[in-house]
Chains A and B, each alone.
Chain A
Amino acid sequence: MSIKNSPVRGDASAGRGREQWTGQYGFILAAIGSAVGLGNIWRFPGVAYSNGGGAFLIPYLVALLTAGIPILLLDYSLGHRFRGSAPTVFRRLGKGFEALGWLQVVISFVITTYYAVILAWAVRYLFFSVTEAWGDDTRAFFVGEFLQVDAPGINAEIVPGIFWPLIGLWVVAGIIMALGISGGLERVNKVFMPLLIVIFLTLVIRALFLPGAVDGLNAFFTPNWQALADPQVWIAAYSQIFFSLSVAFGIMLTYSSYLRRRSNLVPTALVTGFANSSFEILAGFGVFATLGFLAFQQNVGVGELTGITGPILSFVTFPAVISMMPGGPVFGVIFFASLVIAGFTSLISLLQVISAALQEKFGVNRRLSAGITCGLTGVLSVGLYSTTNGLNALDVVDKFINEIGIVVSAILMTLLVSYVVKKLPELRAHVNYYSTLSIGAWWQAVIAILVPVVLSVILVATIYSLITEGYDPKSYSTSFVYQFGWGMLMLVAITTFILTAAPWKTNVDDFDPVDFHEDGASSGVTTKQGA
């Protein structure tokens, strides 16, 4: 049956009735909003500094061009050609492959549950900044007074100071999701992304004029050329690019499925990739200029500082710096507002992965789907992470879901497309038809060989380390890591299979890209395939 004559329920099976971005720039801002998140601000500067400083730029750029942008293009091409959420797209590649789509949805679901909690922390700290409520001992305040962290375990009590902001966050996110792609997500990104750039630039400029800032930048950019001979540095670069760009777990695939047919995919991917990296470099300037000031105040070298990455950087080190500097409250408000904005635009992109999949599989409308998505993730995030055990659980789940879950998803995706359904030539032809810049056969080689090999190395190294050394044995017992780490992965796998087994309520299989896309795109693809 032709898609033109098919009874389309919801906007699911969807080709022509599907929501769309109002234009290419709305999509780009949303894609950048998704890619630019908390990791850009608190992960990249520390990773770069610890892996060769200025010399890290070389593996980082190589990773961006040989893995980041190519995988981004793979996500774009899958979403744009097969017009659906992750389960829809992979089912359209072959009925047996729907599970990979649900794996990506469930991974997004798990990440969403704790990502929102960190945003709730940032919202609270935005207000704490005004009075510098953290006092002199910022670590004791964060871990003790604010999070009320208990010993790792199952039993935990709700912390009201996190519970209520989290509830508020879910309500706001739910409203935006219910407003849809152009009315909600696009509008939010069109306001928030320019705002983020302006306020973060303000923060960086302020930081550059602090005493000691030059020493911080000197530490950040001084190259350690010997690091380039260390394979771990290259793995760190590929990991940073991979985790930072929001690729291979459904976000970019879902976002690109709302693009109009005539979309310039290759330049769009280049803009997204370089914008994400540009923000990371900018964050490097801001963070290390600020750390230089901290070292200056403490009369130590930048290399002697601790807590230069992750939540500790944002919620312990930065508050300490804010208390030391003139005009600290203003700096603090800007810093935490940046975290909130960067994180929120990433959060709604994660939610869209889930919401779109529910709409398409179960035939529910957008508002109901938004309600279910935010309700489910909200209940779990509140129950698991707004408790005295929240920080511990979050840390372990994040480690396993990111470094195993997403990497497995990416490896499976590249292997499936390259060797099982063998769609790379078709996807390349699709991208080239709609783009003014063409990608060559090198792209297929990168996706089929380089990316799975590099990611497999990262995966094996991670699993080997977790099995032989455990995860942070000083902080967590083996049983706690089994429950929240390996146990969470098991739960992800089980949920994936349950969702895959559920019957479709929409006509997902009534779709043929040759029907949907322009004659030239489809015939060009056919010719090239046949050639």
Chain B
Amino acid sequence: MTTTALVMMGVSIVTVWGGLAVSVAYLVSHSPSRRSATT
């Protein structure tokens, strides 16, 4: 693979799958059950 293709592949994985991972982690750590337990 060319370097630019490899870089774009890496960028797509980091941004899209990374975005998903961060969103899921955030949601899990701020689930309604947790919120009601702390409020």
Smallest CB–CB gap between B23 and chain A, Å? 4
How many A residues touch B, CB cutoff 8 Å? 29
CB of A262 within 8 A of CB of B1, answer no
Contact digits for B1-27, partner A, Cβ 8 Å, 1 yes 0 no: 110111111011101110110011011
Given contacts A267-B23, A277-B16, contact A217 B8 (CB under 8 A): no
> Is the CB of A260 closer than 8 A to any CB of chain B?
yes
CB of B15 within 8 A of CB of A222, answer no
Given contacts A263-B32, A264-B27, A271-B27, contact A218 B16 (CB under 8 A): no
**Chain B residues with CB under 8 A of A61:** 15-16
> Is the CB of A462 closer than 8 A to any CB of chain B?
no
Complex CA gap A262/B8 in Å reads 39
Smallest CB–CB gap between A103 and chain B, Å? 31
CB of B30 within 8 A of CB of A264, answer yes
List residues of B whose CB falls within 8 A of some A CB.
1-2, 4-9, 11-13, 15-17, 19-20, 23-24, 26-27, 30-32, 35-36
**Chain A residues with CB under 8 A of B5:** 53-54, 217-218, 220-223
Nearest B residue (CB) for A275: B20
CB of A217 within 8 A of CB of B32, answer no
**Chain A residues with CB under 8 A of B2:** 218, 222
CB of B4 within 8 A of CB of A281, answer no
> Is the CB of A268 closer than 8 A to any CB of chain B?
yes
**Chain A residues with CB under 8 A of B30:** 264, 267, 436-437
CB of B32 within 8 A of CB of A264, answer yes
Complex CA gap A267/B29 in Å reads 11
Given contacts A57-B8, A214-B1, A217-B5, contact A274 B27 (CB under 8 A): no
Q: Which one, A53, A54, A214, A262, contacts B35 given CB within 8 A? A: A262
Q: Which one, A220, A281, A436, contacts B16 given CB within 8 A? A: A281
CB of B15 within 8 A of CB of A57, answer yes
A-B contact sample (12 more), CB < 8 A, given A217-B9, A218-B1, A274-B16: A57-B12, A217-B5, A218-B5, A221-B8, A221-B12, A222-B2, A223-B4, A262-B36, A264-B35, A271-B23, A278-B16, A278-B20
> Is the CB of A270 closer than 8 A to any CB of chain B?
yes
CB of B12 within 8 A of CB of A24, answer no
> Is the CB of A55 closer than 8 A to any CB of chain B?
yes
**Chain B residues with CB under 8 A of A270:** 19, 23, 26-27
Complex CA gap A24/B28 in Å reads 10
9 contacts between A and B (CB under 8 A): A54-B4, A57-B12, A221-B9, A222-B4, A223-B8, A267-B27, A270-B26, A271-B24, A278-B19
